[in-house]
Chain A
Amino acid sequence: DVKVTQSSRYLVKRTGEKVFLECVQDMDHENMFWYRQDPGLGLRLIYFSYDVKMKEKGDIPEGYSVSREKKERFSLILESASTNQTSMYLCATRQGKAEAFFGQGTRLTVV
C-alpha cells in the first residue's frame, strides 16, 4: 500500500511565524501535490512537483513556497503565517496515470 505521511495532524502557530509542513511518501512517486481544504470551497491546489527540484504553482500559491530536495519529501512553507492561512492542508502523490493518494491532513491554526 502507498503510504503518504504528513508530519503533524494538528498545528498551532503564531502570526508571522515561518511554518513548515512536511510530507513523505514511500512509493517513489514522481508527482506530489499540496492542497488546502476549506468549508464550501473544496480542495484547492497550492503547488505541485513533477520531480526533484521541480515545482509549479497551482491555483492559490500566494503566501506559500515549496521545497523538494528528495523525491520522497515535499515541504510546504508559509514564510510568514497569517490568520487567513488557517486551514486543512492535504498532501497527495501520484505516479503516471494512476489515482492520487492522500496523507491524513494537517489542520493548521494561525493565531
Chain B
Amino acid sequence: AQTVTQSQPEMSVQEAETVTLSCTYDTSESDYYLFWYKQPPSRQMILVIRQEAYKQQNATENRFSVNFQKAAKSFSLKISDSQLGDAAMYFCAYRGGANSKLTFGKGITLSVRP
C-alpha cells in the first residue's frame, strides 16, 4: 500500500522568507501523481501544486515550487517570499496512475511571523 509521510507537524517562517515543507512517499508504481494541498482556517482544501511522476521538470506555480526526487521518493514544497496568507495546514498527497484513491500525509501546520 502507498504511504505518505510528513514528519514535521509544525513549522514557522518569517514573512518574506523562504520555507520548505518535506514529504516522502512509498510506492511500487511507476506512474503516479503527487499533490500539495493547503487548508486555511476556513477549512476549504485548495490545490497548491501537482506533479506528474513521468515529468522530470519540477512543477512551479508563482511563489510555490517543488523539489521532486523520484529515486529518493521525496516531494518537498518550497514557498518563496512567504506571506501572512500562507499560514495554513499543508497536506502532501499521492495518487497512483491506475488508482483513483488519494492518499494523504498527516499534514503540517505552517505559521508566518509578521
Contacts and interface: CB of A to CB of B under 8 A. Distances in A.
A48 B44 CA distance: 20
A74 interface: no
- Choose among A35, A45, A99, A105 the residue with the greatest number of B CB atoms under 10 Å from its CB: A99
- Choose among A42, A88, A99 the residue with the greatest number of B CB atoms under 10 Å from its CB: A42
Interface string B33-50: 101010000111101001
B30 to A, nearest CB: 15
B31 to A, nearest CB: 10
B39 to A, nearest CB: 8
A42 B44 contact: no
A110 B100 CA distance: 31
Q: How large is the interface on B (under 10, 10 to 19, 20 to 34, 35 or more residues)?
A: 20 to 34
B44 A97 contact: no
B107 A48 contact: no
Chain A facing B: main interface SS: strand
A58 interface: yes
Contacts, number: 43
Given A48-B101, A99-B50, A40 B44 contact: no
Contacts of B78: none
Chain B facing A: main interface SS: loop
Contacts of A43: 91, 104
B64 to A, nearest CB: 14
A104 B43 CA distance: 6
A13 interface: no
Interface string B54-83: 000000000000000000000000000000
B45 A33 contact: no
Interface string A17-49: 000000000000001010100001111110010
Contacts of B106: 40-42
Q: Which 5 A-B pairs have the closest CB atoms?
A: A102-B45, A42-B106, A43-B104, A105-B43, A42-B104
